[in-house]
Amino acid sequence: MLTSGLGAAAAAVIASTLFASGAVAQTTVDPIVIKGSKFFYKTNGTQFFMKGVAYQQDYTGGGSMGTGNSSTTQYSDPLADESACTRDIPYMTRLSTNTIRVYALDPTANHDACMNALAAAGIYVVADLSEPLQSINRDAPEWNEALYARYAAVVDAMAGYSNTLGFFAGNEVSNAPNNTDASAFVKAAVRDTKAYIKQKNYRTIGVGYATNDDADIRVNMADYFNCGDAASSIDFWGYNIYSWCGDSSFHDSGYDVRTEEFSTYSVPVFFAEYGCNQVTPRPFTEVGALFGSDMTGVWSGGIVYMYFQEANNYGLVSVSGNTVSTLTDFDNLSSQLAKVTPTGVNSASYSPTNSAAACPTGSDWAAKSSPLPPTPNAELCACMYQTLSCVPAPSVSDTEYGDFFGVVCGTGDGSQCDGIAHNATTGDFGAYGMCSAKEQLGFALNAYYNAQSGSNQASACNFGGSATTQAATSAGGSCSSLVAEAGTAGTGVVTSQPTGTGAASGGSSGGASGSAGAASSSAGAFSISAPGSSSGMWQAGSLVVVAMVSGMGMILL
């Protein structure tokens, strides 16, 4: 059984031997578990402190995607690249690395080689569940069936590895008071990912969130994700923080205030990214504070941004093919980490006393604490769609859905769209608000159509040729109970849980294969930013919510 005490040289030899032999048998480590506000090795109860590094190329910070990768999937899975893992793990061990963070994984790829080699080196993985074109868009937030399938697929791919430490359900989604409503959709994703892990009988793996350090919302953000039912709240809190620049101090950096703020937090907190580069080369003097007595009672270590040198100048090494050149930042970080020996408590003698926070309220917080958006259920959406008599015409493309929503929901009293509502500020969520754009549009069209009578109904399913009738099928079997729970208006509460998963995990021995999800369309946008700056957006999919509010670009009846 491996622990963080594995020597760097020994780890490098093990990793090299593993790759050379072509072994694919599972390499196991002592899983990390959560008790109260701390991480522990499961078997011996020793407290676990992250000495981590962010590990993914073409990312510009803040957990966001850079623009240098022009591949169709917009990212390259770092845990599916055996040669890169072979090259890089020995350098990670020189940094005493015991954790890496990866921002986007391909759930259909095989991760055995890298995950086994990381395990052999005593390195755990925190993986983000989203990817550039499938993530929760702060400007038009949704938690839908396509995203659920994506998240479930990543869990399937990674749950079988003992060195999977946890998952991030979102990263810097809300970054200002005017978009904090988006946090409700991320919290719903936390709830449903935790439920999925339990449903699949995987070992308990934590699900958390990574936030930026925004003074206007940071306290409310932390409280919101921690408050309420434990089944819906985060298991750990990651903080992307860049306030210690150069030779700062515990006080000048604000670390003292942040530590006080989290002193009563009920789940583990750690730096999901750190390493300000306003002063270069970075001296990494914050390491002494983070792993020293002032902070170890509250914080569980941190993850340095980042391994690869890119245009944003946050790298520890420069990579060219199979050649790795360490930079001064690497040497400085290695030197600082070598000086620290964080001490904690043993699980057996630790009795948690912190309790969950109160949910935020007030004009500077937009997300209602309850209810959360409904659980995406592809079966329910498919069942509903087959019962419809009026649906979007095949000639209408998904890029036109946004305009069409503005027309349909702006017609009459608008009640035809109650069943697809997803307003986190008011807490109004229709049962079908998590379906695909096509399915939501179909529900609204059909509701409008059914509300008409006589000759009016005959022409009500036209919308200038954008809608058409179909032969409706009565809901039978399991569909009958699902549609009945949703109700005719789509405003009922569906308690039945989805049974499908995301894409298969590529035959990896680490993950369990799952059935295909019902939707694969892009679900939102992925923020792009440098640490500490405001984020832009990757636009993808139809901006349904914006169109429903504005009614822009009306299609004539």
Residues 296-311: tens digit of each pLDDT: 999 999 999 999 999 9
Q: What is the pLDDT of residue 59?
A: 57
Mean local confidence (pLDDT), 456-475 = 91
Which residues belong to CATH 3.20.20.80 in the chain? 32-62+72-338
**Predicted confidence (pLDDT) at residue 8 exceeds the cutoff of 90:** no
Whose structure tokens read 């934590």?
A: 206
Structure tokens belonging to residue 194: 């935790």
Residues 164-182: tens digit of each pLDDT: 999 999 999 999 999 999 9
Mean local confidence (pLDDT), 507-513 = 40
Residues 23-60: tens digit of each pLDDT: 456 899 999 999 999 999 999 999 999 999 999 997 55
Residues 377-428: tens digit of each pLDDT: 999 999 999 999 999 999 999 888 888 998 899 888 889 999 999 999 999 9
Active site residues: 172, 273
Confidence of residue 154 (pLDDT cuts 50, 70, 90): very high
Mean pLDDT of the chain: 86
Which residues belong to CATH 1.20.58.1040 in the chain? 378-486
SS3 477: coil
> DSSP code of 134?
B
SS3 84: helix
Write out the CATH class of domain 378-486: mainly alpha
Confidence of residue 530 (pLDDT cuts 50, 70, 90): very low
Q: What is the pLDDT of residue 148?
A: 97
Q: Which residues neighbour 200 within 8 Å (Cβ) at sequence distance 6 or greater?
A: 155, 156, 159, 501, 512
**Predicted confidence (pLDDT) at residue 320 exceeds the cutoff of 60:** yes
Write out the CATH class of domain 32-62+72-338: alpha beta
Q: What is the pLDDT of residue 510?
A: 47
Q: Which residues neighbour 420 within 8 Å (Cβ) at sequence distance 6 or greater?
A: 430, 432, 433, 435, 440, 443, 444, 490
Q: pTM score, two decimals?
A: 0.86
